[in-house]
Copies of this chain bind each other. A is one copy, B any other.
Amino acid sequence: MKQLSVALVGGGFMGKAHSLAYSLAPIAGDVGAQVSKRVLVDADATTARTLASQLGWESSSGDWREVVERDDIDIVDICTPPQFHREIALAALAAGKHVFCEKPLANTVAEAVEMRDAAQRAGVVAQIGFNYRHSPAIEFARLLLDRGQLGTPLQFRASYLQEGGFNANPNLWRAKRSTGGSGFVGDVGSHIIDTAEYLFGDIARVCGLARTSSEDGWMPESERLATDALDEAGVWIAEFANGALGSFAVNRLSSGHKNQILFGFDASKAAVEFDWNQRDEFRVSYVDGPADHMGFQTIHMNTEHPNGWWRLAGIGSGYAEVSAIQFQKFLRAIVSGVRAEPDFDQGLHVQQVVEAVLDSAAVGGWVDVPSRLPVPAGAR
């Protein structure tokens, strides 16, 4: 059996989530390989050592440059803040490693293009961490669309709301424009853009508004939480390439929402609704139902659905289970040589939509999103 050794760069929240997922994934289902959690890398070598022990990694390192070139490493998994993604990914790809990169792919489209191009040249598996789309219910909704069971896409509505903006220190480097980081449209908006494109196809143009509590016109001065903050809330509408309509909202100053991802869409034969906080089910209503049995059906995920692994999905799945599904797909793509989904090209396209929303908010009016380049022949 193939042996796959992983180097994880970055031991924050995402590093911990990925550590769990690498342990869960092969137990939950055959991935066709033995996976070794070989080395955890953190800028600080002491932190790396502590985290490696705690999160179940064989060894640790304070130097990602050295690690990504090691012969005993097959996979480089990037969990750093986004401003470091490009450099690490390019080095890992140059060394021929398979790369898993957390979202957003980068902080700018220019960086993301470079990363996408390098991945295509390298011919390795390069996947981006849009984890929520791997929910079995979302994957099944896509399957129903592919089968034509739901009809033509008509309207997509999504929101991603959190209350963290009230509690977190709004002046930490990550939330500030001057010290880097990505705003809320890029941070969580990217997830619902990815899900929308996964289900409805590419977004062609957007018009949006964004707000931050550090500028005039939103929070009164007496209530402001931050100075120099990146965008904290946004709303945008979208036109998909196929003509469907989209409506999106994000806000990190939304009390009561720990982590609420809601979407609903209408198609010509059915409508669908999904709530991440009830991820073991989704709701569908078919237009052609019996006249006295109209209304949404709550479909609970079971072994009949994608990744209905060992019934757990039916008994109650969480963030860790969905994360494990994400890595099962990544590992199987490496083993089988098929293209990973979502890949860096998808990561780039989402980045282009995010940038278009922010441009639109800055200049006013509609902004077109570039079409995807044709996938080069032979790419995977």
Taking beta carbons and an 8 Å cutoff, which residues of A are in contact with B? Answer: 13, 16-17, 19-20, 23-24, 26-28, 30, 54-56, 140, 151-152, 154-155, 157, 159, 161, 163, 166, 207-209, 211, 217-220, 223, 233-237, 239, 243-249, 251, 253-259, 266, 268-271, 276-281, 283-287, 291-300, 302, 304-305, 310-312, 314-322, 364-366
> Are B310 and A13 in touch, CB under 8 angstroms?
yes
Query: Contacts A255-B287, A271-B257, A321-B318; is A299 near B310 (CB within 8 Å)?
Result: no
Interface-central residue, A27, A253, A257, A270, by most chain B CB under 10 Å: A27
27 contacts between A and B (CB under 8 A): A13-B311, A20-B28, A24-B320, A26-B56, A154-B218, A154-B251, A155-B254, A161-B266, A166-B287, A208-B237, A237-B247, A247-B248, A247-B249, A255-B266, A255-B287, A256-B285, A256-B294, A257-B285, A258-B315, A259-B316, A276-B316, A293-B299, A294-B300, A295-B297, A296-B298, A298-B298, A318-B320
Smallest CB gap from A217: residue in B: B243
> Are A220 and B152 in touch, CB under 8 angstroms?
yes
- Note all chain B residues with C-beta closer than 8 A to A161: 266
Question: In the complex, what's the smallest C-beta–C-beta distance from A285 to chain B, in angstroms?
Answer: 3
> Are B277 and A253 in touch, CB under 8 angstroms?
no
Complex Cα–Cα for A151 and B280 (A):
28
> Are A296 and B209 in touch, CB under 8 angstroms?
no
Interface-central residue, A16, A237, A239, A281, by most chain B CB under 10 Å: A237
Question: In the complex, what's the smallest C-beta–C-beta distance from A94 to chain B, in angstroms?
Answer: 31
Complex Cα–Cα for A43 and B251 (A):
51
> Are A319 and B319 in touch, CB under 8 angstroms?
no
- Note all chain B residues with C-beta closer than 8 A to A249: 155, 157, 245, 247
> Are A287 and B209 in touch, CB under 8 angstroms?
no
Complex Cα–Cα for A235 and B235 (A):
11
Complex Cα–Cα for A312 and B258 (A):
11
Complex Cα–Cα for A231 and B44 (A):
59
Question: In the complex, what's the smallest C-beta–C-beta distance from A216 to chain B, in angstroms?
Answer: 8
Question: In the complex, what's the smallest C-beta–C-beta distance from A357 to chain B, in angstroms?
Answer: 11
- Note all chain B residues with C-beta closer than 8 A to A243: 211, 217-218
Among B20, B219, B246, B317, point to the contact of A235 (Cβ < 8 A). Answer: B246
Complex Cα–Cα for A17 and B312 (A):
8
Among B209, B271, B302, point to the contact of A258 (Cβ < 8 A). Answer: B302
